[in-house]
Amino acid sequence: EPEVTQTPSHQVTQMGQEVILRCVPISNHLYFYWYRQILGQKVEFLVSFYNNEISEKSEIFDDQFSVERPDGSNFTLKIRSTKLEDSAMYFCASSTTSFGGELFFGEGSRLTVL
């Protein structure tokens, strides 16, 4: 069964460092998303991406964040200068539709900022 894969599974970084989280969405999906979950809290929307551009982003997704689909298969989330409060589980998801369908999630990348 096709699945969303994410790497790395866990990354530890120093505050101020750049981090890139990678995702390979399901191949025939058109919509891509990043969500995050701070420990014990709800799953929060960060950004959605369609047709090679951001379709929506949350207030969390500030100038420190960027997304890219560099080669037609990978979908990356970059955090330019990490802060302590960026420590969270980051989930990539993909879907065939923007409405009325499920999102398929990867297993997540745990980011720990020291």
Partner 1 sequence: DQQVKQNSPSLSVQEGRISILNCDYTNSMFDYFLWYKKYPAEGPTFLISISSIKDKNEDGRFTVFLNKSAKHLSLHIVPSQPGDSAVYFCAAQGRGFKTIFGAGTRLFVKA
Closer to partner 1 by CB, 55 or 81: give it: 55
List of residues contacting partner 1 (CB under 8 A): 4, 33, 35, 41-45, 48, 56, 58, 91, 93, 98-100, 102-108
Closer to partner 1 by CB, 14 or 42: give it: 42
* Nearest-approach distance from CB 19 to partner 1, in angstroms: 19
* Residue 85, helix vs strand vs coil: helix
Nearest-CA neighbor of 3 among 98, 110, 91? 91
Burial class of 6 by CB neighbour count within 10 A (0 to 12, 13 to 18, 19+) = buried
* Nearest-approach distance from CB 28 to partner 1, in angstroms: 17
Q: How far apart are CA 33 and CA 53, in angstroms?
A: 11
* Nearest-approach distance from CB 71 to partner 1, in angstroms: 23
Q: How far apart are CA 51 and CA 36, in angstroms?
A: 22
Closer to partner 1 by CB, 14 or 27: give it: 27
